Structure 1
Amino acid sequence: MLKLSHFEIEPGGLALRTSSGTMHIAFYTPSIARIRYTLESTFSGKRSLMVVDRPESLEVRWTIDDHPEYLELSTDLLTIRVDKQSCAFSYLDKDQRLLAKEPARGGKTLERTDVYSTVFDESAPLETAQGADGLRVRANSGRRGLDRQAYHTKLEFEWQPDEALYGLGSHEEGMMNLRGKHQYLYQQNMKAVVPAFLSTRGYGVLVDSYSYMSFHDDAFGSYIWTDVDDEMDYYFIYGPEFDQIVAGIRYLTGEAPMLPKWAFGYVQSKERYVSQQELIETVQEYRKRALPLDCIVLDWQSWPGQLWGQKTLDPERFPDPSGMMKQLRQMNARLMVSIWPIMREGGDNHREMDEQGFLLGNQATYDAFNEEARKLYWKQVNAGLFSHGVDAWWCDCTEPFEADWKGSVKPEPEQRMLINTAEAKLYLDPEYINAYSLLHSKGIYEGQRALTASKRVVNLTRSAYAGQHRYGTITWSGDIAANWETLRKQIADGLNFCVTGSPYWTFDIGAFFVHNKKNLWFWGGDYDGGVDDMGYRELYVRWFQLGAFLPMFRSHGTDTPREIWRFGEPGEPIYDTLVKFLKLRYKLVPYIYSLAGAIAHRSYTMFRALAFDFREDVQAHNVDDQFMFGPAFLVCPVTTAMYYGPESRKLHGVSKYRSVYLPVGIWYDYWTDERTEGGRTIESKADLETMPLYVRAGSIVPLGTEIQYADEHPEGDIRLKVYPGKDVIFTLYEDEGDSYGYEEGAYATIEIQWCEAARALLIGKRKGTYYGMPAERKIHVEIVGEAGQCTISYHGEPITIRQDDVG
């Protein structure tokens, strides 16, 4: 058991000299404390990859009280109590309410471990194979040697009985509340790790480590363990509300930049569009049918021949990249292109990387940890793609060394962890195997930003890490399979990703794998008939309905087409329902883009676990199939079949309702405007055309006109739909749509306020300006529950609309 020997007040915080090593506490803000523990004579001087430099951050006023049995360090918001006999930490709020504590014996352990590296014989033959998720190159000639010593770290907690925990990133198991759970934290297809968790007790923990980790709250204890670190290093962040905790995480790891407005429209993708002609014709068909669309995606193998990872387009299939981009732009569509960190020998990109010594041990994957290698990678992206006008990047396979995607039987969880972490450790420093995607994303972002401020970075990645969001990334959940169980699990997976402070997450609508290949465990869809199977069509509709309320609205996958007309024709229920939710998404663009503005300017979260807004509603803690979309919408996806099973088998006697938990408060059914009391579970209509959708009383929802792409009619009318019941303020955000001018203040906000007592709506003075801002805007106001509406001309000056004006 550790004992406190003495303490020393230092300019940067408090040093605790213990019977075994030194602990250090520093306050970065009144609500954020950094805690480190080392057995070395000094702390590591390595720069953090996840935490941004904030030299002013340690200028926080705090006090120390020395009691006979414990020390207390306090700011105005947070107290850390250190037991002198065990060095166990307890964390309390300003009212001395216990937030979290370590076991009485102490909760911090450092265990020495040997760290090995591998030296490869570059002349030895390589093992090259192409699997379902891309090219894999393996070096089998490595010589393993001892590199240094480091530590396993273990941070233990005693969580409270009523406490719920969320976070750790997006994993495939569908865990919502992490209490009683165990999770392996390493990067892999369908695992996007972020080492942070939040508690309904009002705090969060961010672990500054990049090695393999594991989280436990089970028979083995309650702790987070890291595999290789120089020291223990973590942050305790007090809220108490989740929005405040997320703001603290982003204060540490950086803010999320604005994505362009088009990124919140519909993104059409599939595996794969094979030619310039097919891309153009697909967009033309969307425009011909008046189906809204903003982006089309060019998936893998767009490169010449077999030159995997070459960042140029095949001249035979894409003969005029600049002309193709011009055509797409004339149709007001954008192009996202898949790029890979792995390159096959024979192409110019591979040769340049090899000549500079920028390839890792498999002589195929570039070293994203090397700044010069990142610059060369971007130089290649720019020369082959960006210079032709490509709009966005799909950085696939950003966990480049996963190794278990083979065979008919899925390995056991521990086996998978061992297989994948061992493969990554062959080529990467074991202390940093989780950070590849973070550095890869950094290179893309900094490269594009250095060239232009007129086009915002959009980067869709398959893995993630803390801090990656500051590089304009959206993370998707990997190559999932088409079945109802996966659809349901995706909801919790995405919510636990966004609760960590990374705001942009999505999935493949309809799932990547649709068929079932029994010789490959991951190719496990239930629908060999693809779009011809009515069972898959029903599943796809439900996936699409859910996707319409994600930060990125994107269809993608293999085995079967994904364009909307592949699912039927006008007048047919499936087709009409897809169009209904596609148009609803575009109708909500003013609301969604305002949420994006709040993400960039106020550290907001768009895709919200119920604990964000109903932290003290215990019944909401374990709800894993509903979420809030912004402050207004309670989204309740349908995750069971009601009409068809696989092979178009009709189902009989299945209810067309689903159970919905309405948290405490008043709610309105979005489809009918019916008002309902919350704090209870109800049965809600959920036929094929309907996904249960509720709006919180005290909401203002700005809606737009019918458009074909997100930037169409920026001067268009706005409809403000007010859901009365309590006071509310909503900030309407607008800017140029696709530049970084907003960083210099080129944006406008309008504060809109509903006063319940006065039954009045105040549309405030427009603040700010940007190029192209409309001088006048027609605003239609509807107060739910009141007959009629009113229309006003808004010129930027305050207007008050009372209930009597609406009618």
Structure 2
Amino acid sequence: MHVTALRRDADGPLFDAGEHRLKLQVLADDVVRLVYTAGDEIPDPESPMVVEQDPDGEWALVEREREFELVTDALRVELDRETGALTWRDADGDLLVREPDEGGKSLVPVSPEDLTVGDHEVATPRESLDREAYSTRLDLEFDDSEAILGLGQHEGGVADYSGEGQTLYQGNTKVAMPAILSTGGYGMLWNTGSLTTFHDDQHGSYVWTECDDALDVFVVAGDPDEVIAGFRDLTGEATMLPKWSYGYVQSKERYEMGEELVEVVDEYRDREVPIDCVVQDWQYWPDTEDHHPNFEEWGGPAGDWGQWGQKSFHEGRYPDPSATMDALHERNVRLMVSIWPNMLAGENYDEMSDAGHILDDEDVPAPGNEQRYYNAFSEEARDIYWNQAKEGLFDHGVDAWWCDSTEPYDPTWTLPTAPDPFALAKHTTDAFKRVFDPGYLNTYSLHQAKGMYEGQRATTDDKRVINLTRSGYPGQQRYGAITWSGDIEATWDRYRTQIADGLQFTAAGNPKWTLDVGAFFVGDGPSWITDGDFDDGVDDLGYRELYVRWFQYGAFLPMFRSHGTDTPREMWRFGEPGDRTYDTLVKFDRLRYRLLPYLYSLAGWETHRDYTMYRHLALAFPDDEDAHDVGDQFMFGPSLLVCPVTEPMYYGPDSEELSGKAEAREVYLPEGTDWYDFWTGERYVGGQTILADAPLEKLPLFVKAGSVVPMGPQIQHTGEKPDAAWELRVYPGRDGEFDAYEDAGDGYDYEDGDYAFTPIRWDDSADELTVAEREGSFPELVDERDFEVVVVGEGRGTGVELADPDATLEYDGSEASVDVER
């Protein structure tokens, strides 16, 4: 390859690279797009993933004897004239990442049509499959000291992808996100919808995509938060979810009638246990005379599942859906309803089929293919789907969507035993390729989320869109979607690995992730994917212990939601007041609600500042190499270090008592700061591993010195006591700050500037707390609020309960300060 400069466009230089063209498109000073193509034209960056871009970076091109150098204020990109190898450096010239000396870009022609499986009509967002396409490969050389994060949610609990490999495709419990974030000061996002593999293993160090128009990669320079901000600039802002969605969400498989939903909420209210949402899982729809076949051969249940996918309520079990919604809303609780992309029978199926938007998927391996999926790649089909959901559910007052099975195919059910990862990848992606354009097989969920978001936004701006979905892709955060990890099983190992799996998802740029607290499958079911350890469910003391630990962890996720099958999930099913398990569940539920001012501020930062609340330690402490491979701890916002207990201490399955287990776990405290034990106030120096006390009632939880953590009153729902005083817990040892965020809690007026930040500052040397002038306003704003300042120390300002304040500051929106004696 010999590279010559072809022309200098306004957005960056174009090079001739023999049979190919190479474009370095400067989208911003810290974002440069690499396009390597066999065509003469450079495709626009916009795609289902990438929003419209307006390149505005300043750049210069320096020509030397052996290389070209593209220079911006944040990046220096060297291009070898002889080999075409690219080297990426920061503004100071320090190496970020590079291709091998001989170059690392390759394109191999492929036919999208030939990559499909079987003889089917294939769904595509393009005009046809008849186009030039390529499998692409980009070889890279990583530094031994950097951690590689991202790639989405994959099973295994990998904390650092250095030295690892991963196949990116969609599946139940697997979410593809073609992005990496390095602690070395950069990130890379592939503009693809194709099957993708990442390698830093025995095969080499490279990223391969199966079917694309070109090799198309965005390189973003900066620290981890700046890289994620760059990813969001490319794929869209994370929308605000409604404030109530940050409260407790009670779900199970399943509530069977409308009055049962109200009864469950009444029980929570009677017990004074906080709750904000109850969930209606599947089979609320009408019955059908057509029964599913017996699925014993693949391990699933037999029986009548009704008009699966019909988006309307059964008239007998939900005789007045609007009245049910009213009853829930009167109790300050919302309803989330499960909807599916597949349709078995009924009016929804008939309408979609008559319009020609049911996919040609009859012989795709899946459990009983009377379920047929709609073509979410079609705008017309998405409009029909939304109108069905609106007329059958939303118009009755339904508040939130649970879009299940949005991969959408889950052929794992058809396998009798667990296959090896490569066989499973082929089995799953072959199913997708029967009906999807291979260039877009990972993007169904993105299109589905788009349809729900645009449909609801066109209907009303009074309710924020919230869509709990089982799959995800970069860009989905702009559609009000939050991904949950799928149908996981109740084992200690699965619980442990979920922590890192979720952290890798958020490191890829989408901050909205959660899981089924307690796991979906609890007992040992008939299929390999339903293999939990606790056949007796809530009656098994071993499961109660696991559930409590999972619940403690869930209290620090973007959505706090219990869900699953095989056994009940309401808190009183695990005991009564005075029982260790019940009391601990209630304690952590109440802690979640006390932290609401902190938590909702983090949500505001995610939208307005491209923040991420569920944070890998390497994202928060990129220079601390000892933090890079910690996969069972995380930062919740800037202040809280959460350390879930991931091993049993008291009971195994079948209530078998364990002996010799210490009520403690090892905790790594990142370097560069001191840490406070949230429960005792004891102070520790960072950069060390300690043995933290961890009986069942206690999740090891530490707070970074210099933190200001706002906490609210004890409440029963997120809308209660809006004008109550906030407790400001100050953790001394260094100066601190926190910008509290508030808005109306629902609706989209925040897009027009209706929100406020309240800057809170702690001067450690002066023992002075200052609340600066409020920035912004909105009609529902509480103009005056008391702040009760508590300086934390050993035995003071600890735990869930309210503390006696060291000082009280009366705030009316103008700057005010208070001296604190300690």
Bin the TM-score by the shorter chain. Answer: over 0.9
Partner SS, residue 530 of structure 2: coil
Post-superposition Cα deviations, 1:467-508, rounded to whole Å, max 9, x if no partner, equal 011001110000000010001100000000001110110000
Corresponding letter in the other structure for 2:360 = G
Q: 1:223 aligns with which of 206, 218, 226?
A: 206
Other-structure match for 1:71: 68
Does structure 2 retain, via aligned residues, the 8 Å contact 1:304–1:310? yes
Aligned to 2:58: 61
Amino acid at match of 1:67: R
Counterpart residue number, 2:618:
611
What are the equivalent positions in structure 2 for 1:371-520 lying under 5 Å apart? 371-517=379-525, 519-520=526-527
What are the Cα deviations for residues 83-118 of structure 1, in whole angstroms up to 9, with x where unaligned? 111101000011100000011110111011122257
Structure 1 residues 53 and 407, CA, compared in 2 at 3 Å: closer, same or farther?
closer
Say which SS state the counterpart of residue 337 (structure 1) adopts.
strand
Contact 1:595–1:630 (CA under 8 A) maintained in structure 2:
yes
**Residue in 2 that maps onto 1:632:** 639
User: Does the Cα contact within 8 Å between 2:30 and 2:72 map onto a contact in 1?
Assistant: yes
Amino acid at match of 2:139: E
Q: Distance in 1 between matches of 2:65 and 2:697?
A: 67
CA drift at 1:167:
0.3
Q: Which moved more, 1:259-268 or 1:610-619?
A: 610-619
Shift of 1:183: 0.7
TM (norm. structure 2) is 0.93
Q: Give SS of 1:768's match.
A: strand
Match for residue 130 of structure 1? none
SS of 1:707's partner is: coil
Paired with 2:539 and 2:414, the residues of 1 have a C-alpha distance of: 28
**Worse-matched range after superposition: 411-420 or 353-362:** 353-362
Residues 521-556 of structure 1, C-alpha deviation per residue, up to 9 Å, x if partnerless? 001100001000000000000000000000000000
User: Which residue of structure 1 lines up, in the alignment, with residue 84 of structure 2?
Assistant: 87
Matched with 2:293 is none
The answer to whether structure 1 residue 790 and structure 2 residue 796 are counterparts is no
CA distance 1:676–1:121, shift in 2 (3 Å): closer
1:654 corresponds, among 656, 661, 664, to 661
Separation of aligned partners in 1, 2:312 and 2:432: 28
Alignment-derived partner of residue 329 in structure 1: 329
Letter in structure 1 aligned against 2:246: F
- Aligned AA for 1:76? D
Amino acid paired to 2:108: E
Aligned pairs, number: 779
CA distance in 1 between counterparts of 2:38 and 2:535 reads: 57
CA distance in 2, matches of 1:42, 1:328: 56
What is the percent sequence identity of the aligned residues?
A: 50
Indicate if the aligned counterparts of 1:541 and 1:577 stay in contact, CA closer than 8 A.
yes
For 1:595-622, what per-residue CA distance to the aligned partner results, in whole angstroms no more than 9, with x for missing partners? Answer: 0011111000000001222110110011
Note if 1:163 corresponds to 2:146: yes
Contact 2:195–2:209 (CA<8 Å) still a contact in 1?
Answer: yes
Deviation at 1:367, TM superposition (A): 0.9
8 Å contact 1:492–1:624 — kept in the other structure? yes
* 2:226 aligned with 1:244: yes
- Is the contact made by 2:595 and 2:712 (CA closer than 8 Å) also made in structure 1? yes
Aligned to 1:693: 701
Superposed CA deviations along residues 358-392 of structure 1, whole A, max 9, x for unmatched, are 12112721111111111111011100000011000
Give the counterpart letter for 1:75 in structure 2. Answer: T
Shift of residue 625, structure 1, vs aligned partner: 0.4
TM-superposed deviation, 1:54: 2.5
For residue 583 of structure 1, report the CA deviation from its aligned partner: 0.4
Give 1:779's aligned residue: 787
How do residues 563-602 of structure 1 correspond to structure 2 at under 5 angstroms? Answer: 563-602=570-609
- CA-to-aligned-CA distance 1:270-290 (integer Å, 9 cap, x gap): 000011111111111111111
The answer to whether structure 1 residue 644 and structure 2 residue 627 are counterparts is no
CA drift of 1:59 comes to: 2.6
Residue 818 of structure 2 aligns to which amino acid in structure 1?
I
SS in 1 for 2:7: strand
What's the offset of the Cα at 1:29? 0.6
**TM superposition shift of 1:414:** 0.8
SS at match of 1:277: helix
Q: 1:404, 1:411 within 8 Å by CA — same for their partners in 2?
A: no
1:678-717 matches, within 5 Å, as 678-717=686-725
- 8 Å CA contact 1:406–1:520 kept in 2: the answer is no
| Uncovered stretches (5+) of structure 2, i.e. residues with no partner | 288-305, 363-371, 797-804
Structure 1 stretches of 5 or more lacking a match? 123-137, 140-144
- State whether residues 80 and 92 of structure 1, in contact with CA within 8 Å, keep that contact through their aligned partners in structure 2: yes
1:46 deviates by 8.0
Counterpart residue number, 1:721: 729
Paired residues of 2:45 and 2:53 also in contact (CA < 8 A): no
Task: Give the equivalent residue in structure 2 for 1:341.
Answer: 341
TM-score normalised over the length of structure 1: 0.95
Aligned AA for 2:502? G
Larger mean CA deviation between 457-466 and 106-115 belongs to 106-115
Give the whole-Å Cα distance in 2 for the aligned partners of 1:602 and 1:284: 38
- The letter for the 2-side match of 1:217 is D
Identify the residue that residue 297 of structure 2 maps to in structure 1.
none
Aligned to 1:287: 269
- Contact 1:156–1:222 (CA<8 Å) still a contact in 2? yes
Distance 1:118 1:148 in 2: 17
Q: Which residue pairs with 2:351 in the alignment? A: 352
Corresponding residue SS for 2:728: strand
1:759 alignment partner in structure 2: 767
Preserved contact between residue 406 and residue 521 of structure 1 (Cα < 8 Å): no
1:207 aligns with 2:207: no
Structure 1 residues 801, 309: CA separation in 2 closer, same or farther (over 3 Å shift)? same
Inter-partner Cα distance in structure 2 for 1:246 and 1:793: 37
Summarize the Cα distance change of 1:600–1:45 in structure 2 as closer, same or farther, 3 Å threshold: closer
CA contact (8 A) 2:119 2:434 kept: no
2:156 to 156, 168, 173: 173
What CA distance in whole angstroms lies between the structure 2 residues aligned with 1:515 and 1:408? 17
Q: Equivalent residue for 1:25?
A: 24
Q: CA RMSD in A?
A: 1.6
Distance 1:121 1:400 in 2: 17
- Once residues 146 and 302 of structure 1 are traced to their aligned partners in structure 2, the CA distance between those partners, rounded to angstroms, is 39
- Rounded Cα–Cα distance in structure 2 between residues aligned with 1:103 and 1:755: 49
> Do residues 746 (structure 1) and 754 (structure 2) align?
yes
1:260 maps to 2:262: no
The answer on whether the counterparts of 1:626 and 1:635 sit within 8 Å (CA) in structure 2 is: yes
Q: For the residues of structure 2 that align with 1:529 and 1:192, how far apart are their CA atoms? A: 31
> 2:737 & 2:15 partners in 1: Cα distance?
46
* Secondary structure at 1:580 match in 2: helix
**2:556 paired with 1:559:** no
Is the contact between residue 541 and residue 574 of structure 1 (CA under 8 Å) also seen in structure 2?
A: yes
Distance 2:664 2:174 in 1: 32
Could you say what secondary structure the match of 2:411 adopts?
coil
* CA–CA separation in structure 1 for the residues paired with 2:309 and 2:153: 26
Instruction: Give the superposition deviation at 1:67.
Output: 0.8
Residue equivalent to 1:129: none
Deviation at 1:698, TM superposition (A): 0.7
What is the CA distance between 1:47 and its match in structure 2?
A: 4.0
Aligned pairs for 1:522-541 within 5 A: 522-541=529-548
Contact persistence 1:402–1:424 (CA under 8 A): no
